[in-house]
Amino acid sequence: MAKRYDKKQQAARVLREQRQREQRRKQLLTGGAIVGALLLVLGIIGVALYMNQTEEVVPPQAKHTDSAVVLGDGPVTVDLYEDFMCPVCEYFHTSVSADLQRMVDEGQITLNVHPIAILDPASNGTRYSSRSAAAAVCAADEGMFSEYTAALFTNQPSEGSSGLDDKRLAELGTELGMSSEFSSCVMDKTYRGWVQQATDTAADNGVTATPTVFVNGQKVEVPPNQGIDAVITQFQNDLAAALADAGVDPAEENENPEDTPAEEDTQD
C-alpha cells in the first residue's frame, strides 16, 4: 500500500512540475511577443520620424519662386525640372542649354529651373541629388547658377554611386571664381530644406520624372515609348510656337547697330 501511495505521489509531482514548466513557457512566449510587438511599434515610429523629418526652409537670396531659381524675365515661361544625378537630364542640358541661355539673355523667356531630388535613393545614402541641388542654389546667390549647373553636369557621377562629396561640390564653385560664402553655403547645407520643398512641390504638380519641362504652363509630352530626342524636338516646337504667339522671333539676335561694321567707302 505504501509503495502504491508513493507512486501516486510521484506521478502527481511529475504532473505538477510538467504543468509548471508549461505555464512558465507560456509566460515566456507571451512576454517575448509583447517585447517583439513593442520593438516593432518603436521601429515603425522611428522610421516614420525619419521619413517625416524636415530641414529648415531658407529662401534663396537669388530671384526665385517657392520651388525654382528664376532666370530672365521674358514673355514666354519655361519651367524645367531636373535632377543633377539624372543622366538624361545631362543629355537634355547639353542639347538645349545654350539656346535657352541665349533666350534668357535676349529677354525672350523666363526660365524657372526647379532643382529637385528624386534620385536621392540612388546615391548610397549620401543624398547626392539634394546636396548638389542645394549647392546649385548657393551658386544662384553668387549669380552663377548657369555656370555651376554646367559644372555639375560636366562632373556628373554615375547613378547609383555616392556622388561628389560636399568638399568637392564647394571646390567646383571655387574653380569658377566664387567667394568663400559659396563654400560656407554648401558646407552648411543651407538650402537642403528649400530643395526638399521644391521636390515636394514638384510631386504635388504631378512631376514624377526628370527632365520634365513646361512651356507657359503646358507640359511638353510625347507618345509613350518615345526617347529623350523626341522630347527635345517637341519642346523646341512648343517653345517656337509660344515665342511666335508672343511676337518673338526665336532666331532673331539683338544686334546693336553701333556694333555693325560700316561699309567702307570705295570711291576714289
Instruction: Give this prediction's pTM.
Output: 0.75
Model confidence pLDDT, tens digit, residues 79-123: 999 999 999 999 999 999 999 999 999 999 999 999 999 999 999
The pLDDT score that the predictor gives to residue 44 is 36
- pLDDT for 267 equals 38
What DSSP string runs through 99-131?
A: HHHHHHHTTSEEEEEEE--TTGGGSTTS-HHHH
Long-range Cβ contact pairs of 97-106 (< 8 A, separation 24 or more):
97/146, 97/149, 97/150, 101/146, 102/253, 103/72, 103/74, 103/243, 103/250, 104/71, 104/72, 104/74, 105/72, 106/74, 106/253, 106/254
Chain segment 224-268, per-residue pLDDT in tens: 989 999 999 999 999 999 999 999 886 655 554 444 444 444 333
Question: 3-32, pLDDT tens digit by residue?
Answer: 444 555 665 665 666 666 666 655 544 544
pLDDT band at 140 (very low <50, low <70, confident <90, very high): very high
What is the pLDDT, as a whole number, of residue 27? 57
DSSP track, 47-110: HHHHHT--------SSSB-SS-EEE---SEEEEEEE-TT-HHHHHHHHHHHHHHHHHHHTTSEE
